Structure 1
Amino acid sequence: MSLRSILGGSNRVRKSTKKSVAKKSESTPSPSSSSLAALPRRKPGTQQRKRSKFDEDDDNDLFDDKLDDYGLVRALRADLNLRDTSQAVLYIRSHMFSPIPEQAPGMNSTRIAEVLNYRKRMPPIVTISHIQTLLLSPSAVEREIAELARSGFLRKVVVARRGDIGETVVLSTDFEQMIKDSTSLDEKTKSSLITFLKEHPGTQTIGRNALRESEIEQLIRAGFITSHLTGVTHHGSMSNTMNLYSRPEDKITLTSIDIVSKQPTGSLGAVGGDGALHRAGGSGGGSLSVSGRGADAVEMKLAVPGNGTFLKLLSSALEHLVSLLGKSRFREAPETVLRDRWDGGVAKEEARYAAKRSRGEFAGILPGQTRKWRQFYGLSFDWVLQEAVGSGLVEVFETRSVGRGVRAL
């Protein structure tokens, strides 16, 4: 069979003519403009994707995979001149709050005065866990704090059932100045307390015979002394915030394990003491009254006025920071993204309305409208992050691509 006969067959593909194309176009009608307008319009280069539960905010799905982890950050200090505990205490106190914006703060003069007065009433205390996050060796910080407390340079104040955030330190000079400036104490009570503190630099408790009854009552009302029953935790009065930072023995039982472990073997105190079943919620006989337990069961500890305000602000800020990490898929985010979330997205709005702000037209989100200023009075992001790391709620690690990452534990 020749090649000519093969190519000349009926199956040969022939080139279409103009007439056939015209007939074909006449047979198939073209879509009208009205039908085209009814079709859904889509921007070029965009694709629709299924909305998930993590798409509550615009920046939740910036990272569809976990961040690269190249090791934890050992110290979060930004100032390399920090070498000891005293410098860390001053640094933490000076960097607790962010400065009030000079232009367009979003707050009137009354609100600005409230913020400044709230900051002024904040006690000059620092948590020990915060100091440990700034310095390289936590054990060295503990030894240095113990040495400074014995020498009278600073004083350690512990609030029960608050975990790490309840262990704080205050400089002795600041504590004495608070005693002198108190309007609830008379001059004799002030001098008696200052003399007692100088004679007992490392103590955290005050005996009933150290001061007079009238002076103790004044100090309790002023907030310099707290009294409670030893070995008893009032579990019914503990809130959810307190349960988050309280130790295991305070969450599980009303009898302190620390107190029970120090009692002699075979004694009544080794099993919780008199009325332990009653304190645990049972039907056993017992009483929580001071008269039933004796005067020695009441323990008086040194306290700092305003410590409750400090702990309330700190605990609510830590919970909010962890909730911001919960918006991400893997409960982790770059530090820059988390900082922007804490600030309320003000940085994005400033870049978006830069031209209007240059003309004096203040558009977008103002700082005073964010939770950072409405609820936390301008609490600094770096300060809260360091507290969260010290409390064991988050950890900071290196990514080598997007800076440092923050992960909730």
Structure 2
Amino acid sequence: MSSIRIAEVLNYRDSLPPIVTVSHVQVLLSSPTAVEREIVELVHRGAMRKVIIGGRGGHGEALILVKDLENMIEKSNLKASFKEEFKKSLQQNPTALNFSRSRFTDEDAQALIHAGFLTSSTTNYTATDHFSRLGDGSRGTLTSLNSISKAASGSLEAIGGEGVVHASGGSGGGAQLAGNGDFSLSLPATGQFLKLLSNARLHLVFLLSKSKFREAPESLLRQRWDGGIEADDGASAAKMSRGEFSGVLPGKTRKWKHYYGISFEWILAECVGAGLVEVFDTRSVGRGIRAL
């Protein structure tokens, strides 16, 4: 890959939150019950935090180390004094997934929403309400249509004012201050992480569906995921020494172009944990993978 593409991949990876899905952790150990018990213990001790992403299906439960969460808060654009206050609030409520609206002022809540640490847990109040009701600007969300129509062309007021995207539910976990629901704890760029994860899961299942009966040896599925690049074995080394190259450059594969180098082992564990595939012993060519 070129140096520009390498920089893009590294920057993209660095922008993702340091989280792991609960289903992935359960695959690493043999007892899901023991995993859940250990998670609960670590959460109560304040070493780990669970975040629930509503509407995301099975991979909506994520875990993050408290020290990583505090580092994210420190690197955010929140006011220095409020950073300590927010961290203290999290430390006092290690198991809390939601926070009442009375806990934060409107200004502080809006700052947390812009930073991606809070979302609205209200289910019956959506971003379309802003556009279907006149006068929403009086509640501190979108400027009313009447005000927008009087604003000068090309000004911020003509498009709804500063922060209109965040207030309407976009860019960084936009929750609305209107409504009666509580706030839910969130993490910046979590949606970006889940989108990458969801697309990678679907792609692995698609690669598996190319085989008869939707099952294949692990070695074959790994080769498909890697995109047919040169293997690290004796035959490939001999070809390289003779100046021959029969594989595909890594930078040209879907694994790196679309999924930023997600390893086969990692995405396989995700799919097993999500119940999309299962691993079995073929008794002849090693482990096999079967789509469910």
Distance 1:352 1:176 in 2: 48
Change (3 A) 1:120 1:329: same
The corresponding residue for 2:273 is: 390
Q: Deviations over 1:42-65 (max 9, x none)?
A: xxxxxxxxxxxxxxxxxxxxxxxx
Q: Which amino acid aligns with 1:126?
A: V
Distance 1:355 1:167 in 2: 46
Which secondary structure does the structure 2 equivalent of 1:146 belong to? helix
The corresponding residue for 2:49 is: 155
Q: Which amino acid aligns with 1:343?
A: D
The corresponding residue for 1:69 is: none
The corresponding residue for 2:263 is: 380
Q: Which amino acid aligns with 1:340?
A: Q
Change (3 A) 1:137 1:342: same
Which secondary structure does the structure 2 equivalent of 1:406 belong to? strand
**1:352 shift after superposition:** 7.2
The corresponding residue for 2:189 is: 306
**1:231 shift after superposition:** 6.2
The corresponding residue for 2:115 is: 222
Does residue 400 of structure 1 match 2:283? yes
Q: Is the 8 A contact 2:106 2:177 kept in 1?
A: no
Distance 2:126 2:30 in 1: 35
Among 100, 106, 115, which residue is 1:213 paired with?
A: 106
Q: Deviations over 1:307-359 (max 9, x none)?
A: 11110110000000000111011100010110011011113698776555225
Change (3 A) 1:374 1:214: same
- What is the TM-score with the length of structure 1 in the denominator? 0.56
The corresponding residue for 1:358 is: 241
Distance 2:207 2:234 in 1: 22
Q: Which amino acid aligns with 1:210?
A: R
Distance 2:28 2:89 in 1: 33
The corresponding residue for 1:198 is: 91
User: Over alpha carbons, which structure has the higher Rg?
Assistant: 1
Q: Is the 8 A contact 2:53 2:60 kept in 1?
A: yes
Q: Deviations over 1:131-172 (max 9, x none)?
A: 100101101111211121122111100101112211001000
**1:362 shift after superposition:** 5.3
Q: Is the 8 A contact 1:332 1:407 kept in 2?
A: yes
**1:363 shift after superposition:** 5.6
**1:223 shift after superposition:** 0.3
The corresponding residue for 1:324 is: 207
Q: Deviations over 1:284-322 (max 9, x none)?
A: xxxxx987xxx43x2210111111111011000000000
Q: Which amino acid aligns with 1:367?
A: P
Distance 2:2 2:123 in 1: 48
Structure 1: runs of 5+ lacking an equivalent: 1-106, 235-288
Q: Is the 8 A contact 2:228 2:247 kept in 1?
A: no
Q: Is the 8 A contact 1:340 1:347 kept in 2?
A: no
Distance 1:394 1:343 in 2: 18
Distance 1:200 1:382 in 2: 35
Distance 1:352 1:191 in 2: 58
Does residue 167 of structure 1 match 2:61? yes
Q: Is the 8 A contact 2:110 2:177 kept in 1?
A: no
Q: Which amino acid aligns with 1:213?
A: D
**1:128 shift after superposition:** 0.5
Q: Which amino acid aligns with 2:285?
A: V
The corresponding residue for 1:114 is: 8
Which secondary structure does the structure 1 equivalent of 2:98 belong to? coil
Superposed CA RMSD:
2.3
Bigger share in helix: 2
Q: % of aligned pairs identical?
A: 53
Q: Is the 8 A contact 1:122 1:309 kept in 2?
A: yes
Distance 1:134 1:353 in 2: 32
Distance 1:322 1:135 in 2: 23
Change (3 A) 1:112 1:361: farther
Distance 1:381 1:233 in 2: 38
Structure 2: runs of 5+ lacking an equivalent: 128-175
Distance 1:226 1:115 in 2: 28
Distance 1:348 1:146 in 2: 42
Distance 2:87 2:57 in 1: 28
The corresponding residue for 1:145 is: 39
Change (3 A) 1:321 1:227: same
Higher relative contact order (CA 8 A, sep 6+): 1
Change (3 A) 1:143 1:232: farther
Does residue 125 of structure 1 match 2:19? yes
